[in-house]
A and B are shown apart, each in its own frame.
Chain A
Amino acid sequence: MKTGKAENRQGFFSGRDMGRAAIGKGSMEKTAMALLEIRDLHAAVDGHEILKGVNLTVNAGEVHSIMGPNGSGKSTLSSVLARRDTYEVTGGSVLFNGKNLLAMEPEEAACEGVFLAFQYPVEIPGIGNAYFLRSAVNAVRKYRGQDELDAMDFLPLYKERMKLLEMDEKFMNRSVNEGFSGGEKKRNEILQMAMLEPKLAILDEADSGLDIDALRIVSGGVNALRNPDRAFLVITHYQRLLNTIKPDFVHVLVDGKIARSGGPELALELEETGYGWAEAEQTQALSA
């Protein structure tokens, strides 16, 4: 359960985070309550059952990677956790920070600290990035009883974090994701995550479509955001992302269920073997 990586987590975001990182190991000791507790989760889209009994426990400070073949339900799981209402939960339970996540609206879940970096970020024409993100940050701050930030407070923070993600300031006033390249969209997702400071960050294929530099920048951003109070669910198909974002656990989702779990070595093994074994098991199960 120990990650012991506190020393890597330079507090890129705020003095507060840095302070916590320094005392990070201490908070790792507590095992009282998991940050995310998924029990026998079933979910359907348009009447098709996609998730067929997912179990997963994630503690604060941990990084879990979820892998698995196309169509196995990874994006479905992240959408359900973010409370997208086109996904119907047909069974099971999810506790987030001790609260019933499944009873929350998407904006409530977001304000409680669930962040989803989208596999396919959405374009919002006519709305500037800075304006959008300040509205979002303020919605979250308001929910948490903090003062809202005016443009003067917000912009310096925003610019600083743009620099860390090596994004040009000209993106600030461009419409949200409109005309962005695939890689720029992904970087913009990580930038939003950095500003919103979530407790649980779900990255759905944050690495797809990235060139080598962008991959370095995105994974660097994620690493900088790691801290003992924050957990990550990193959905990916490739080991290369996990070389830099070193996960504590790797899970393989197959046909709506977690088929295997293990340490980082499981990802390496999958790289070698692929998912053939899982399909074989499935056929066996079906014929039995």
Chain B
Amino acid sequence: MSSSTETIRELAAQEYKWGFVTEVDEDRVPKGLNEEIVRLISTRKGEPEWLLAWRLNALRRWFQMEREAGAPAWANLKIAPIDYQEIVYYSAPKKRPALESLDQVDPEILKTYEKLGIPLEEQKRLAGVAPTQTPKIAIDAVFDSVSVATTFKDKLAEMGVIFCSFSEAVKNHPDLVKKYLGSVVPPTDNFYAALNAAVFTDGSFVYVPKGVRCPMELSTYFRINAAETGQFERTLIVADEGAVVSYLEGCTAPIRDTNQLHAAVVELVALDDAQIKYSTVQNWYPGDKEGRGGIYNFVTKRGKCAGRNAKISWTQVETGSAITWKYPSCILQGDNSVGEFYSVALTNNRQQADTGTKMIHIGKNTRSTIVSKGISAGHGQNTYRGQVKILPGAEGARNYTQCDSLLIGDQCGAHTFPYIDVRNPTAQMEHEASTSKIGEDQLFYLRQRGLKTEDAVSMIVNGFCKTVFKELPMEFAVEAQKLLGVSLEGSVG
């Protein structure tokens, strides 16, 4: 045992590779949370009156929740109390891009995205040089609180697809925003959703019109840069009747020894026969080995299959963050609608994750699939929390849940809390669960064939996650595999 433990200790010394800070001038509002700050954010963003009213209402509800119950405490997480008055709620790169052209974006920011492997510039150039070729991915990049660049907008607009920052959507497509904002996650939904509704700064907006199959992957890249700020983005995706869209988000943050708060909201709406596939590769800074620093990731993600035969599929690979509190869910309202949740959550060192999903079956013959793979290493704590609810009207509903945990070492923990609530006798439910340890026999077998310990560990883990990875778009599946390898460094003990 000793020698593999040593190799792994050495690996543990490796650091988070995305932890650099970009020097840009920031325009930030003062610390603290109150009506004035919310008004200030709204003014900075040149928002209409209705949106300010919406924010202020959310803020009042948040204060009420905080007074009455405080932050939710039911999750299996140990969290130091957060002082919401110590956070900066708005920070933006000073040289505000006109958003018409990438040339006006601060070159430091472009460099950052390049370092992260997102060649905005390259894509633009390629698009210009070979306009006949359909690009594979369009990217919206959100730097601290604002969206700095969205690529391939024109190309998408030809097909009627709207892909822009949330702020732009408020200006250019107010009717759509008004109609759907808060329709899936109301401002009063929960503590963090209320906070987000009050102070959200930017995010992405997607609308795919009737019958349109979006010709490329849409992607948003989130980057927290500024110190002491929180990031509160809001994403809204609407797929009209028969529309199909695949969307991916990625996120990173610099290394800082204080915790930073990320409280996002994502709402998906799928009308009749529409399909939305939403994939996340979450790699926020996880904190150091002793658990100093790292992002607190409190996210509310929910999709509504509003129409018949609609389908919403969530795939997430969660490797970052000190704390992850996240339950991408589906409301299966339309008859025959389908909800899916595929998740890989990895906790290493002192990371804690409490994640899972809710599948609410309302319509007839609605189907849901849940596949959760939790990996715990070091002192990591990994909790799966899922709810499947079959309402009385959901004749013939079906759910399949598979929930597997993999332990690396003996100081970590895996926990599962599946809640099942069936109120229609025709429902068919299937549940499978397993917990296993990375076996010394598996490691030895692979090493005997010449593989290094770290490669052997990541091969075993990748095998464990395969059913989830195959749901990711091709390019990102490869990304996710590599990321898992890196995040595992310092495991087994």
> Which residues does A use to contact B, with CB under 8 Å?
82, 84-86, 105-107, 109-111, 115-116, 118, 121-127, 132-133, 135-137, 139-140, 143, 175, 192, 196
* A127 contacts B448, C-beta separation under 8 Å: no
* B1 contacts A139, C-beta separation under 8 Å: no
- B4 interface hit (Cβ, 8 Å): yes
In chain B, positions 418-457 with a C-beta closer than 8 Å to chain A are 439-442, 444-453, 455
**Residues 454-467 of chain B, each 1 if its beta carbon lies under 8 Å from chain A, else 0:** 01000110111111
- B2 interface hit (Cβ, 8 Å): yes
Q: Give the residues in chain A near B133, CB-CB below 8 Å.
A: none
Q: Give the residues in chain B near A107, CB-CB below 8 Å.
A: 447-448, 450-453
* B444 contacts A84, C-beta separation under 8 Å: yes
**Residues 1-41 of chain B, each 1 if its beta carbon lies under 8 Å from chain A, else 0:** 11110010000000000000000000000000000000000
- Known: A122-B442, A124-B442. Contact between A85 and B4, CB under 8 A? yes
Alpha-carbon gap, A139 to B455, bound state (A):
10
Q: Give the residues in chain B near A106, CB-CB below 8 Å.
A: 444, 447-448
Minimum CB–CB distance from B488 to chain A (whole Å) comes to 15
Question: Which single residue of chain B is at the shortest CB-CB distance from A117?
Answer: B448
Interface size on B, residues (CB 8 A): 28
* A126 contacts B445, C-beta separation under 8 Å: no
* A127 contacts B463, C-beta separation under 8 Å: yes
Minimum CB–CB distance from B189 to chain A (whole Å) comes to 36
Alpha-carbon gap, A132 to B466, bound state (A):
14
* A110 contacts B448, C-beta separation under 8 Å: yes
> Which residues does B use to contact A, with CB under 8 Å?
1-4, 7, 439-442, 444-453, 455, 459-460, 462-467
A-B contact pairs, 24 of them (CB 8 A): A82-B444, A84-B448, A105-B3, A107-B447, A107-B448, A107-B451, A107-B453, A109-B448, A110-B447, A110-B449, A115-B448, A122-B445, A124-B446, A124-B459, A125-B466, A126-B462, A127-B460, A127-B466, A132-B446, A135-B459, A136-B451, A139-B449, A192-B449, A196-B449
* A136 contacts B450, C-beta separation under 8 Å: yes
Secondary structure dominating the interface of B: helix
Q: Give the residues in chain B near A82, CB-CB below 8 Å.
A: 444, 448
* A139 contacts B450, C-beta separation under 8 Å: yes
Alpha-carbon gap, A110 to B464, bound state (A):
25
Partner of A110, one of B441, B442, B450, B462: B450
* B451 contacts A126, C-beta separation under 8 Å: no
* A122 contacts B441, C-beta separation under 8 Å: yes
Alpha-carbon gap, A136 to B446, bound state (A):
8
Question: Which single residue of chain B is at the shortest CB-CB distance from A133?
Answer: B449
* B455 contacts A132, C-beta separation under 8 Å: no
Closest 3 pairs (CB-CB, A-B): A126-B463, A126-B466, A136-B449
- Known contacts A116-B448, A125-B463; 8 further A-B pairs (Cβ under 8 A): A85-B1, A111-B450, A124-B446, A125-B466, A126-B464, A126-B467, A175-B463, A192-B449
Q: Give the residues in chain A near B3, CB-CB below 8 Å.
A: 85, 105
Minimum CB–CB distance from A198 to chain B (whole Å) comes to 10
Minimum CB–CB distance from B437 to chain A (whole Å) comes to 14
* A127 contacts B462, C-beta separation under 8 Å: yes
* B450 contacts A140, C-beta separation under 8 Å: yes
* A135 contacts B451, C-beta separation under 8 Å: yes
Q: Give the residues in chain B near A127, CB-CB below 8 Å.
A: 459-460, 462-463, 466
Alpha-carbon gap, A82 to B7, bound state (A):
18
* A105 contacts B462, C-beta separation under 8 Å: no
Alpha-carbon gap, A124 to B447, bound state (A):
13
Q: Give the residues in chain B near A86, CB-CB below 8 Å.
A: 1, 440, 444
Alpha-carbon gap, A135 to B449, bound state (A):
9
Partner of B464, one of A122, A125, A135, A140: A125
Alpha-carbon gap, A115 to B449, bound state (A):
7
Alpha-carbon gap, A143 to B467, bound state (A):
32
Q: Give the residues in chain B near A110, CB-CB below 8 Å.
A: 447-450
Minimum CB–CB distance from A229 to chain B (whole Å) comes to 18
Alpha-carbon gap, A122 to B451, bound state (A):
15
* A118 contacts B465, C-beta separation under 8 Å: no
Alpha-carbon gap, A133 to B445, bound state (A):
12
Alpha-carbon gap, A234 to B460, bound state (A):
29
Residue among A82, A84, A109, A196 with max Cβ neighbours from chain B (10 Å): A84
Q: Give the residues in chain B near A122, CB-CB below 8 Å.
A: 439, 441-442, 444-445
Residue among A127, A175, A196 with max Cβ neighbours from chain B (10 Å): A127
Minimum CB–CB distance from B40 to chain A (whole Å) comes to 51
Alpha-carbon gap, A123 to B436, bound state (A):
13
Question: Which single residue of chain A is at the shortest CB-CB distance from B404?
Answer: A125
Minimum CB–CB distance from A199 to chain B (whole Å) comes to 13
Alpha-carbon gap, A109 to B448, bound state (A):
8
Minimum CB–CB distance from B273 to chain A (whole Å) comes to 33
Alpha-carbon gap, A207 to B460, bound state (A):
28
* A196 contacts B442, C-beta separation under 8 Å: no
* B460 contacts A124, C-beta separation under 8 Å: yes
Alpha-carbon gap, A46 to B442, bound state (A):
19
* B445 contacts A121, C-beta separation under 8 Å: yes
Question: Which single residue of chain A is at the shortest CB-CB distance from B445?
Answer: A122
Q: Give the residues in chain A near B4, CB-CB below 8 Å.
A: 85
Minimum CB–CB distance from A200 to chain B (whole Å) comes to 12
Alpha-carbon gap, A256 to B288, bound state (A):
48
Alpha-carbon gap, A60 to B323, bound state (A):
57
Minimum CB–CB distance from B432 to chain A (whole Å) comes to 14
Alpha-carbon gap, A126 to B442, bound state (A):
13
* B1 contacts A132, C-beta separation under 8 Å: no
Q: Give the residues in chain A near B464, CB-CB below 8 Å.
A: 125-126
Alpha-carbon gap, A124 to B442, bound state (A):
7
